[in-house]
């Protein structure tokens, strides 16, 4: 039986899903600020921020090890300019040597499907720890947990990479169909099982916008954002991986009753305001006693409602 949603008056777990660069962090940061302005205790949570946070040895050491291992596996079998990609084993070396930044500088080379497939499972394992040891305790302390990226995204991307690599290799170790058997229960654990957020928000929109925004932000797509370990680096690999992710996100959102915020080619402030109004309305519905209803600042509640109801879908 899936765990009960957090009880009224207790904490609330809010998480954002969507393509790389589509604006999850932007929306999430504004949500944190707005909820704090309303006097709520809000804890932004990400696995990455736990690596260097003030946490006990357990779970921090496990979170660090699993974090490094996802990259190690993802690049397992990859070759950079004739050399096997070797990553530091100790976390201190990992940060000192800027291991993640340097991965972004590698030439793209194909790796084995076993690497990304194992990476997906290690990513999943890390999130089991993160959820139990960081997210649940914050909720039990009545905090509002805001997660800028629902970790299903990372697991899905690694799974898609594994599928791409296995499809490209006839006679390889795993067929795409075999990989599906493994992925289905993992996906259900995120969507309908213990890792399910109280408020799930899919940030959706054209992949071209995500690419343009990401290029405007950092000049290039990131190391986990294209299909470089499957031999398709750069913008084309980004479009392929992100479009495939977006299709799965839609199905996931529909199946598990997520709220969908669709971004448009418009100024960031306008998109953010619409997204915030949508998320605040969903929180108000689940937590009527928090007094958030109609609190958007992007216009009167009536205006916001009239403009958005036709364009936003709430799968429920
Ligand atoms: N609605 C918008 N209109 C214009 N630009 C936007 C919009 N939303 C986000 N951006 C810009 O796009 C870039 C990427 O946004 P952001 O980092 O929030 O995406 P993300 O979904 O969190 O990405 P990631 O998956 O990599 O964490 C940022 O430079 C941001 O300012
Ligand atoms: Mg982000």
Q: What is the pLDDT of residues 53-104, one digit of tens each?
A: 999 999 999 999 999 999 999 988 888 888 888 899 999 999 999 999 988 8
pLDDT band at 300 (very low <50, low <70, confident <90, very high): very low
Nearest-atom index, ligand 1, CA of 265: 3
Structure tokens that stand for 41 in this block: 């205790």
> Could you give the CA distance from residue 212 to residue 299 in angstroms, rounded to a whole number?
28
From the CB of 18, is ligand 1 less than 6 Å away? yes
Report the DSSP beta bridge partners of residue 232.
Answer: 227
Structure tokens that stand for 283 in this block: 């929180």
Q: Which-ligand-closest: CA of 249?
A: 1
CB 107 within 8 A of CB 231: no
Three-class secondary structure of residue 206 per DSSP = coil
pLDDT band at 316 (very low <50, low <70, confident <90, very high): very low
Residue written as token pair 């080379």: 109
CB 187 within 8 A of CB 234: no
The model carries a pTM of 0.91
Going by alpha carbons, the residue nearest to atom 15 of ligand 1 is 23
31 to each of 49, 71, 158, how far by Cα in Å?
Answer: 18, 30, 28
In angstroms, what is the span from residue 26 Cα to ligand 2's centroid? 7
What is the model's pLDDT at position 302? 35
Mean pLDDT over the full length of the chain: 90
Domain-wise residue ranges, the chain: 12-314
Question: For domain 12-314, is the CATH number 3.40.50.300?
Answer: yes
> Could you give the CA distance from residue 43 to residue 143 in angstroms, rounded to a whole number?
7
What is the model's pLDDT at position 51? 98
CB 76 within 8 A of CB 115: yes
From the CB of 271, is ligand 1 less than 6 Å away? yes
CB 272 within 8 A of CB 33: no
Q: Which-ligand-closest: CA of 218?
A: 1
pLDDT tens column, 111-158: 889 999 999 999 999 999 999 999 999 999 999 999 999 999 999 999
- Which of 169, 166, 164, 157 shows the shortest CA–CA distance to 223? 157
What is the model's pLDDT at position 294? 62
Provide the CB-side half-sphere exposure for 29 (13 A, CA): 5
């Amino acid at each position: 039986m899936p765990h009960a949603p957090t009880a009224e008056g207790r904490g609330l777990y809010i998480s954002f899903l969507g393509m790389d660069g589509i604006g999850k962090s932007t929306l999430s940061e504004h949500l944190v600020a707005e909820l704090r302005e309303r006097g709520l205790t809000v804890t932004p949570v990400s696995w990455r921020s736990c690596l260097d946070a003030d946490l006990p040895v357990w779970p921090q050491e496990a979170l660090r090890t699993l974090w490094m291992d996802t990259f190690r596996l993802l690049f397992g079998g990859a070759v950079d300019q004739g050399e096997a990609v070797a990553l530091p084993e100790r976390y201190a070396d990992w940060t000192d040597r800027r291991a993640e930044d340097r991965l972004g500088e590698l030439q793209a080379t194909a790796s084995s499907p076993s690497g990304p497939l194992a990476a997906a499972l290690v990513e999943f394992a890390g999130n089991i720890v993160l959820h139990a040891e960081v997210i649940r305790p914050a909720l039990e302390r009545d905090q509002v947990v805001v997660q800028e990226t629902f970790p299903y995204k990372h697991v899905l991307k690694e799974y898609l990479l594994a599928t791409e690599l296995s499809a490209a290799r006839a006679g390889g170790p795993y067929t795409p169909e075999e990989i599906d058997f493994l992925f289905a229960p993992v996906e259900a654990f995120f969507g309908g099982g213990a890792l399910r957020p109280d408020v799930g928000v899919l940030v959706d929109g054209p992949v071209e916008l995500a690419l343009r925004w990401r290029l405007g932000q950092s000049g290039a797509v990131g190391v986990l954002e294209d299909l470089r370990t499957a031999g398709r680096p750069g913008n084309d690999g980004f479009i392929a991986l992100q479009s495939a992710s977006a299709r799965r996100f839609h199905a996931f959102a529909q199946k598990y009753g997520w709220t969908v915020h669709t971004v448009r080619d418009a100024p960031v402030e306008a998109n953010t305001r619409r997204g915030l109004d949508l998320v605040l309305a969903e929180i108000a519905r689940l937590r009527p006693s928090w007094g958030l209803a109609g609190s958007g600042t992007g216009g009167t509640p009536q205006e916001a409602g009239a403009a958005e109801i036709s364009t936003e879908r709430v799968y429920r």
